[in-house]
Structure 1
């Protein structure tokens, strides 16, 4: 909340420079008017703390925001995000002693790797590799196939990788999903 107020106040300072008369009318609200309706806090045993509280309660909202930002910078206090309030949990179920085994996350992105191929199917595999990788020439595709094991395609969804694997296996190649 304090960080929202500080951000709001920073933007209002910029606007204040443009519209000074309107900003001076909106700053009339002080914390004295707010605190008069609230119950007063119990008196402190330390008179110095009592004076500080009185001085702070006499500040306007803009002055209080300036005080907060000045204290944060001087005391080197980092702003942290406050956790959002959540609904109270329902009656908790009894906790079992046996830990629930978590399933390992299923891999959804695969690399398609050409491990080996049947020598008789080499021309078909070269053509398929050339079609799969558009910037390869026929000579580059031949060199690519001859230097197995090679990664054909990276970062493929499981469905596409399975389809390509089936195509290459049908041609006589050994393809592995990594």
Structure 2
């Protein structure tokens, strides 16, 4: 049935989707105007790039209030149904795991300062002076809000240069 949806069938589907106690009081011209509006919106969405569609989907979920439940609700449903009696505790620990990390530069050897500044410039959008000022303010967070994989890669590079680095 869904493969046969045409612009003319949208008002019919709308009346079928309402409960029997509500009536669709749109006139034919109002219905056509709304159908044209929906077609225009659909065409605009389809013309977006993949990245823009992803951002649009996130925005729509946010605007519709689906973000209020967070990622743990979906995780609880799937983990809770698959496991036994102890699966609730496992789901809570999984939801409590940290997903976003900050890389904090604790200290470094003075001999490797220039190399550390170059490395900090490599994974940030800072200029030479800004990166130098940042490195000189140790202990300081040099990169915020990144995934664990990115954070570990940055930590490994900085540790190879002789810096003391931690995750927050």
Task: Output the TM-score relative to the length of structure 2.
Answer: 0.48
Normalized per residue, which structure has more helix? 2
**Radius of gyration: which is bigger?**
1
